[in-house]
Amino acid sequence: MHNSLSSLTLKLFSLLLALYASTGTPVWANEQRTSKEIKNVLFIIADDLRASVLGCYGDAICKTPNIDKLARSGMLFERAYCQGTSCGPSRRSLMFSRYQGTGKVNMGQYFRENGWYTARVGKIYHMRVPGDIIAGTNGEDIASSWTERFNSPGLEAHTPGDYACLNLNIFTDDLEARESTKMPNRMFVTVQYDGDGSDQPDYKSANKAVELLRKHQDDSFFLAVGLVRPHYPMVAPREYFAPYPWKQMQLPPQHTDDLADIPKLGKAKTISSTNQIGKYPNNQKRMWSGYYASVSFMDEQVGKIIDELDALGLRESTAIVFTSDHGYHLGDHQFWQKSNLHEQVLRVPLIISAPHLARGTSDAVVELVDIYPTVCDLTGQEIPNEVQGTSLRPLLTKKANRVKEGALSFNNGFSLRTQDWHFMRYKDDTRELYDMKADPGEYTNLAEQKEFSERVQELENILKTRLHRVGIQPKQPASKQRKSETPNQKTAPSSN
């Protein structure tokens, strides 16, 4: 019996030794390997990119082969949510891992102060698009984040070519009087033109990123690349519009009385019924064509950067994070842009690809504030005490399938997105509640239906607990009115 046990022990030891020889490390040491071997971070963020238009997130029309390829090499998070619904608040939040406002040390600064080369290319913190892009200025960038920083200017709506201001039904190749910077209709602008795209800001950003990868391949680097598309104006070479003929574009379904149960503060600022875009269904299709074209052009730049990372042999020492600052409405519920708390605005793509970590998809609810602690964790850095996000490493190593009970977002109130429910409470005390399994399009607000009163109270309690935990004190509403309203006048669009 003793000899039999000894023989079994020897066989097990031999098996482990063989595994060690084949992998270069003991099988139980993969988690330790990750943090020791990842000495670079490549962070790529798109602008105004809703998750649902990417092929890897289920869109059968938009061509995004490079982002799809990245998703296959890493973990795709199906339920990732932004904290701010416009560029500035969202980007500050993720860079500081704070739900609102800023902290002492941002993500780029933390890596720089720990001896890493850190660089910004393009838009990471808020920049006015198109204003700061045309001017080539830094916007609201925080200089302490970076060893070096680089802007990528472009002509934007003034790019020579076929210009359209779709809500005004203007089509011209004239360069005069084009909607730009602070003009009120600029979010409905597309430009398609003959060219290779080399004059576009995202093309320039990708080229600069490639240059920096080559220059700093022997350093530990945190390279942040901010691509500005598909943010308006939707400018791309004509070849990127070609796969998306506007006549073949499908508009989001519309439901009778869809807005009747949405509170005033739950409605977007730009609505078809109060904006001239509502007069032109064909131009709404052209918006989708322009958005898809911009996404495909942006995708090609992502591929260019990652291909260079592979060519330099840096993939096995680099954690790649791809995301967007927030999503976007393209006629959903008659809404346009990004100014409310509905799913199309809050849900963002999030893909993390790193050596020795799991591949696949996760349906866990995660937040953009989680990126900062996650990359610290993956690279063996101590996670700063002040961050409010949660490391996603347990999800990336398959040691857990959940890390939090829900995602918080902010605009005129609060949003709590759990696995199955979406609850919003606004500063005037009006509310929305959606069963996201039965009603993923958020067409039936259940908040005032008696049979859901217990669910509302449960989510209210979770929301209050979460807000208290992160030091946010909701203001008391001026009244307890819970009456759905319909806007009776136009509201100026966001300048983000």
User: What tens digit of pLDDT does each residue of 425-436 get?
Assistant: 999 999 999 999
Compute the distance between CA of residue 415 and CA of residue 99 in angstroms, rounded to an integer: 12
pLDDT at 493: 43
Compute the average pLDDT of residues 368-376: 99
What would the pLDDT profile of 135-187 be if each residue is shown by its tens digit? 999 999 999 999 999 999 999 999 999 999 999 999 999 999 999 999 999 99
Residue 423 pLDDT exceeds 90: yes
Average pLDDT of the chain to the nearest whole number: 92
Is the separation of the CB atoms in 346 and 368 below 8 Å?
no
Quick one: which H or E segment has residue 467?
A: helix 453-469
Residue 481 pLDDT exceeds 60: no
Q: What share of the chain is helix, strand, coil (3-state, %, to 5)?
A: 40, 20, 45
Compute the distance between CA of residue 259 and CA of residue 227 in angstroms, rounded to an integer: 33
Name, in order, each residue with C-beta under 8 angstroms of 19's C-beta and a sequence gap of 6 or more: 26, 27
> pTM of whole model > 0.85?
yes
Pairing of strands 75-81, 350-353: antiparallel
The 3-state DSSP class for residue 156 equals helix
Compute the average pLDDT of residues 61-82: 99
pLDDT at 36: 64
pLDDT at 18: 43
Compute the distance between CA of residue 321 and CA of residue 46 in angstroms, rounded to an integer: 11
Residue 480 pLDDT exceeds 80: no
Compute the distance between CA of residue 168 and CA of residue 161 in angstroms, rounded to an integer: 18
pLDDT at 459: 98
Residue 5 pLDDT exceeds 50: no
What strand order describes the sheet that includes 407-410?
Answer: 407-410, 413-417, 421-426, 431-435
DSSP string, 402-423: -S-S-EEEESSEEEEE-SSEEE
Residue 3 pLDDT exceeds 80: no
Judge if the upstream peptide bond of residue 477 is cis by omega within 30 degrees of 0. no
Name, in order, each residue with C-beta under 8 angstroms of 472's C-beta and a sequence gap of 6 or more: 99, 100
Compute the distance between CA of residue 333 and CA of residue 66 in angstroms, rounded to an integer: 30
What would the pLDDT profile of 264-274 be if each residue is shown by its tens digit? 999 999 999 99
Compute the distance between CA of residue 491 and CA of residue 434 in angstroms, rounded to an integer: 26
If you search the block for the tokens 């790649």, which residue do you land on?
Answer: 320
User: Structural domains in the chain?
Assistant: 39-152+202-230+259-272+291-405 (3.40.720.10), 410-469 (no CATH)
What would the pLDDT profile of 226-239 be if each residue is shown by its tens digit? 999 999 999 999 99
If you search the block for the tokens 């791309």, which residue do you land on?
Answer: 236
The 3-state DSSP class for residue 355 equals coil
If you search the block for the tokens 């009778």, which residue do you land on?
Answer: 256
Residue 147 exposed, middle or buried by CB count within 10 Å (0-12, 13-18, 19+): middle
The better pLDDT of the pair 243, 101 is held by 243
Burial 17-39, CB ≥16 within 10 A → b, else e: eeeeeeeeeeeeeeeeebbebbb
pLDDT at 437: 98
pLDDT at 477: 64
Is the separation of the CB atoms in 329 and 342 below 8 Å?
yes
pLDDT at 474: 81
Amino acid at 303: G
Q: Residue 443 corresponds to which tokens in the numbers above?
A: 């067409």
Compute the distance between CA of residue 347 and CA of residue 92 in angstroms, rounded to an integer: 17
Beta bridge partners of 425: 414, 431
CA distances from 162 to 4, 168, 194, 236 (A): 81, 15, 9, 10
CA distances from 290 to 182, 183, 236, 244, 252 (A): 20, 19, 8, 8, 16
Compute the distance between CA of residue 51 and CA of residue 344 in angstroms, rounded to an integer: 8
What strand order describes the sheet that includes 170-172?
Answer: 170-172, 162-165, 189-193, 234-237
pLDDT at 20: 36
Per mean pLDDT, which range of 20-34, 179-193, 444-458 is the poorest?
20-34
Going by pLDDT thresholds of 50, 70 and 90, the confidence category of residue 34 is low
pLDDT at 59: 98
Compute the distance between CA of residue 32 and CA of residue 301 in angstroms, rounded to an integer: 33
Quick one: which H or E segment has residue 78?
A: strand 75-81
Residue 219 pLDDT exceeds 60: yes
pLDDT at 280: 99
